[in-house]
Structure 1
């Protein structure tokens, strides 16, 4: 189970490794709350889609599986869009067209085709959750970097997602900050993503080097074992 989770959250992260779903990842991650809202929507869609695809896989003919998967994804996204419009209307207006565009997210179709259509129900649900969670965490991290550098705050406009009590969640980390416009514009998203990819690659390289050194020490001195 640990390897199952680690593979989806870190080793084969949909955003940092596979580079899937970059359109919403970069477009709506200008604040933590925007990123969190889109992340929750994406996780919900991929989990429900994996569940439905796995449930109907015994009766799904190969010839129609892709159109059927697209129809399922579109149906789930439509329901999520209606829920957000009803209960989180202001956030829904901010996220705009990127909510229905979840239908075109390669991450969701990829998991439906590559995993859910070939595996049991519970395993597919877990796969959808952890793959979606890995994607959402990267989006939130990018949102935090961009919001902090661009506005000097974290969790601004939290009331859009959490209601009136969310107004108390805003953290002003740099008082009287005039802001850095590039961070909240599209180029800022690319810089933040590049930073996260570089940090991940650096950590992975360090881990591999430590493992290599440990293996070398063990093989050169067998008595130590």
Structure 2
């Protein structure tokens, strides 16, 4: 009887180990990253490098502005895509206490309100002036939702009303794209030589929502 029990137990353990190993292998079985080439020239303001408000140094662009441009998690597609960042950054509409956490390689800029937090870190800029920003947002639950946002600074035509009514040019921050990274993303993001590389974590099968094995995006 003891021998039978030992035999059954050994068989059970062997089966469990095999299944666990197979499951672990399946976890890491993601496809290779896809490579995409984006060829386009946006009308970027020549003053983008000297803008007063930036994503990577003081004075930081208020994270509440970035959150509003990203839009609610429940919605899809862009709604608010352009903001006069010079005015918005000092406005009551987008007011929040901007906090900065020292992180590598760039600081994490965020605000907190009750049980909610939203922040961003600067990934980098292409030679043509596309600003890439990694955002994180929580709504009080266990989820931490990550996105990559793509911005440009533009010069927008407007009208100035005063003693004279004249056309003017105002600096505008414009959202040109959003790449969702999913909940609790722990992969890697890098930008070098106008090539953006986004890869899922190696230690687990955590695919990206649109490109499960990752994406390599070349800006031409």
* Structure 1 or 2: more strand by fraction: 2
Whichever of the two has the greater Rg, that structure is 2
Structure possessing the higher relative contact order (Cα contacts under 8 Å, 6 or more residues apart): 1
Q: Same fold (TM over 0.5)?
A: no
TM-score by length of 1: 0.23
Q: TM-score, normalised by structure 2?
A: 0.23
More helix by share: 1
